[in-house]
Structure 1
Amino acid sequence: MDSNDDRQSEKQEIWSWGAGTDGQLATGLLQDEHIPQLLPFQPSLSFISCGGAHVVALTPGKKVFTWGRGTSGQLGHGNLVNSLGPKSVDVLNNFKITNVSAGWNHSGFVTDIGHLLTCGDGSFGQLGLGDNVSQCSPVKVLHFESWHVQQIAFGMRHSLALLKGEKGDQVYSFGSGKRGQLGISNEKVKSISLPMSVSGLDQVNVGSIVANGDHSAAISDNGHLYTWGRGFDGKPGMCFPERVISMVSFTQVSLGWNHALILTEEGEALMLGSHHGVLKNHQIQNLTKHNINEEQVKKICGLNGIKVVGVASGAEHSVLTTENGAVLTWGWGEHGQLGLGDTRDHNNPQVVSMGQSGAHEYATSNVYCGSGFTFVVRNL
């Protein structure tokens, strides 16, 4: 790493586990890992985004490293080759990158002046470049050149961008829309390759956006949650953002393929939908109903009043971290993505052990999920 800000941090540990056959765990091995692995490289990372089988990482010095599957060009290295470990995205070295996102097979990078660059699979228009061509190096999205992009969120085959400006906040989308995840029409759109404004958020001050699978979501500055795209629990999809009606304020949302984890202002983790084949109706508790096809926000059993500070969702697994730094996982475990030493599914949150020092001595643990793998950045 080049700058002083990007040197190895003595107060940070990076752990990974789960599916690893494309190099996405950065262990240097092409294999699944059923227990947490302390990574042999220890750069200082400020943010990680995990995709289908690749990872995009941002350093405090605003530099970008990627690794894992690269067969669609999603690593941005100018080729279609996998990477077993972190490799600098050299074409971005002249930029200061402030936000990144990894989709299933595509990636995006936001600069400090609000420009967006994308690379990877473009077959559904998810790169926002006006065509369906894939790119193996980051290319600027010219549609946003006169706007200020603040944040991006990439799903399976679609992309969201949050724009800030004098006229207020706007969310744009592009890519596949067959489940309504673009939020641009009252009918489901096959795909679009140029960004279009998401309907129904014009009067909302959007604080953050999230995408995964065929789902999209946004949280407003005042804690309201909006979702659109594929419905949860087999319910019909929504073509426009709809607010989840609740008496509590939300601070974070993380989307899986069939579920969403939501974090309240009070530190309670809640769920929309369920892990396919894992959580049963008798293992959840109804909290309230919202106006989206009578879906239900649900309490998660087994937390016993534990204060949660962060949530993350894979395709079918969930991860949360508590105020004392403990990491808990549950859901689908076929690839060891729960970090519990086996490949079984687990119905209720279980504490993950990382190292001999135990799980409760750390001030903060930031958690991130790919489709079948997990990363934790622990600040000691």
Structure 2
Amino acid sequence: GANSFGQLGLGDTSDSFLPQQVIGFPDQQVIKAISGGGGHTVATTVSGEIYVCGQNSDGQLGLNHTCDVTHFTLCTAIVNLHVSKVACGWNFTIILTNNGELLSCGSNNFSQLGRSGEGSSSVPRPVDVCKKIVVDVAAGLRHALAITDDRRLFQWGTGIASHAKRFVQKNSVPVIFTAKEPSPVQDTGELYVWGRNQHGQLLHQDLFVLQPWKVGDHFFLGEKIRAVWSGWSHLLAKTESGKLFSGEEELLSAWPSLEIGRGSNRRHEWASQRGSNTGPDSLLNQLLPGGLWIGAQSSNKRRFVIFLGME
């Protein structure tokens, strides 16, 4: 992929057209998760440390300087904390520890660090989420979201309407969510969406949905939702039976079930069956959304890419 800032961690800034193994990862650490921003990458280890590389013009790597880094480098500012999850925005980073603390670094031009009125920060600093314990976090282009242990959803930054509430105090209890268009999945398997809707991906008539809006069960053939992912202009939802539904550009009235391996170059003509003998197993275990594409891993461990959104 693109490597203009060294975000691939290969020691240079040359783009790579084929996957390359990162040789000599620091301290032989075992990686449990990777998060990517606009030009930076953060790897979280099983021991709770984070290694960073790539663009650092706003201090988003948390290394107490603003120089780009082409090798994965330990973020020493938080070595005494155990990191459980990292969410990268375009040029900022949100860090969640195992005891529910939230920290952030990078650009704060749109208050995306959760500290209004402050400038950028090149070291991770605490985010006060109303003195609550955070259990999950996500980041979009210029905004972030956090779920607390008392089942409240907080949001801050830009990408949310300027007059939208800082947090939602409805009866809804999100347990899974993503951040390009915030899309929580409730215990009941219902899907609520809000935010930008220029491509109809939220299945709503308004171009911007200001409050959480429940997507009708009929869009999913009456099945409960168990997971949801988003890209730049599309959403994907996985039901309890393993069906995959898409909501993306030009799909203004329905989210048809995707037939993996048979798609169409016309976005509104995805088949309604579940998989085919010629394609990968349609029971998907993991999806990794990009701006205009979705990387997927099926239950038989085969990996493939679904291209969705703008052509």
TM exceeds 0.5?
yes
Contact 1:176 1:190 survives alignment (8 Å): no
In structure 1, what is the Cα distance between the partners aligned to 2:153 and 2:279?
34
Greater strand share, structure number: 1
Alignment of 1:157 onto 2:130:
no
Find the counterpart in structure 2 of residue 175 from structure 1. Answer: 157
**Which of 282, 292, 305 matches 1:316?**
292
Alignment of 1:116 onto 2:102:
yes
Contact 1:99 1:150 survives alignment (8 Å): no
Measure how far apart 1:152 and its partner are: 0.9
Deviating beyond 3 angstroms after TM superposition, the runs of 4 or more aligned structure 1 residues are 299-305
- How much is the aligned-residue C-alpha RMSD, in angstroms? 2.8
**Structure 2 gap ranges (5+):** 251-263
In structure 2, what is the Cα distance between the partners aligned to 1:151 and 1:324?
29
SS in 2 for 1:261: strand
In structure 2, what is the Cα distance between the partners aligned to 1:229 and 1:303?
34
Q: Match of 2:18, as an amino acid?
A: I
In structure 1, what is the Cα distance between the partners aligned to 2:8 and 2:110?
27
In structure 2, what is the Cα distance between the partners aligned to 1:41 and 1:218?
38
Alignment of 1:240 onto 2:211:
yes
1:145-190 superposed Cα distances (whole Å, 9 cap, x missing partner): x21011110100011011112xxx000000004xxx3xxxxxx317
Find the counterpart in structure 1 of residue 162 from structure 2. Answer: 189
Q: Match of 2:196, as an amino acid?
A: R
Change (3 A) 1:303 1:163: farther
Contact 1:232 1:272 survives alignment (8 Å): no
Contact 1:22 1:53 survives alignment (8 Å): yes
**Structure 1 gap ranges (5+):** 1-17, 182-187, 288-298, 333-344, 348-380
Q: Match of 1:138, as an amino acid?
A: P
In structure 2, what is the Cα distance between the partners aligned to 1:331 and 1:269?
14
Q: Map 1:333-348 to 2 at 5 A.
A: none
Measure how far apart 1:261 and its partner are: 2.0
Measure how far apart 1:303 and its partner are: 4.8
Contact 2:185 2:191 survives alignment (8 Å): yes
Contact 2:275 2:282 survives alignment (8 Å): no
SS in 2 for 1:91: helix
Q: State the percentage of identical aligned residues.
A: 25
Alignment of 1:57 onto 2:43:
yes
Measure how far apart 1:49 and its partner are: 1.4
SS in 2 for 1:46: strand
Q: Match of 2:155, as an amino acid?
A: S
In structure 2, what is the Cα distance between the partners aligned to 1:176 and 1:150?
22
SS in 2 for 1:107: strand
Measure how far apart 1:26 and its partner are: 1.5
Measure how far apart 1:205 and its partner are: 2.4
Change (3 A) 1:242 1:106: same
Measure how far apart 1:286 and its partner are: 6.5
1:67-105 superposed Cα distances (whole Å, 9 cap, x missing partner): 111111111111111111211111111111112110111
Q: Match of 2:38, as an amino acid?
A: G
Find the counterpart in structure 1 of residue 6 from structure 2. Answer: 23
Measure how far apart 1:282 and its partner are: 4.9
Which structure carries more relative contact order (alpha carbon 8 Å, separation 6+)? 1
Q: Match of 1:170, as an amino acid?
A: R
